Amino acid sequence: MPREFADLTSAEVVDQVTGRTVVWPLGAIEQHGPHLPLSVDSLIAEAFAREIADIVDGYTLPVQSIAARSLPQSGGGLSFPGTIHVGGDTLIRFLREALRSLFSLPMARLVVVNGHFENEPFLFEALDQVRQQGFIGDREVFAFSWWSLVQESWLTAEITGFPGWHAEHAGVSETSLMLHLRPDLVTDLRPDHDHPPRAGLYLHPVDVDRISNRGVLSSTSGSSAELGEKLFRHVIDEGVAVLRDRDGNSSANRR
């Protein structure tokens, strides 16, 4: 049974999180083409977070869905309706303050699972500011975007013509994960975009029809629930391996 942090009472919370891992999913409300809901990044981050919390007997926080702006080269950008975002400066401040109150609790480890491409630099910046301010102490932090755990060899074996993670927005990996996790929210449309945008560029003005096919930056052909399940298991295995590896190097006794 997954443990939900927010279902605890105030009287229980200190005892329950002592020595344990708390997992915080960070997502987005962002356009994901004509076949996927706005909640993709949040639902995927939440599913990974719950699974990890379950394996390490930790607690999951509610997903944080309103996050960083969508950028054209990695998310289609704000010309597509439905993306609800805050600016990077606001996001850093928000995360920093939320993390400070979280770290006032005696958990042993915080895991942050990110599902939205543009969140990552702001998340890492906020965590490092909080660390520098002394709020983390000797607690462990493991923050990652789920795709960072995917091994190169897995990608080569499972996804043909991989366009880069920035362009996997609403592409094969996210469509497959959604077909595995929430098939009820996926339509039968499978748009392909033959010319995925290049990574690491900021261009203005933006030709929306050139960077994407209706908000899909790469290809959705070949998406399946089976591939989604494989990818889900691969990411979980890699994430748990990182946690166990760190456990092996640490004298702290964690449950």
The residues carrying an active-site annotation are 30, 32, 41, 116, 118, 169, 174
The rounded distance, in Å, linking the Cα atoms of 16 and 196 is 46
Pick one of 17, 26, 37, 41: the residue that binds Zn ion (CB under 5 A).
41
Nearest CA-CA partner of 48 in 170, 118, 148, 130: 148
Cα separation, 27 vs 68, whole angstroms: 9
Our finding on whether 46 is near Zn ion (CB under 5 A) is no
Q: Which of residues 195-234 bind Zn ion (CB under 5 A)?
A: none
The least CB distance from residue 174 to Zn ion, in Å, is 5
Nearer to Zn ion, 40 or 47 (CB): 40
Amino acid in the structure at residue 116:
H
Position of minimal CB gap to Zn ion:
41
CA distance 230 to 74: 24
Window contacting Zn ion (CB under 5 A); options: 39-47, 79-87, 183-191, 217-225: 39-47
Q: Any idea what DSSP says for residue 198?
A: P
What track of x and - describes contact with Zn ion for positions 137 through 166 (by CB under 5 A)? Answer: ------------------------------
Q: Which residues pair with residue 59 across a beta bridge?
A: 3, 22
Q: Which residues bind Zn ion (CB under 5 A)?
A: 40-41
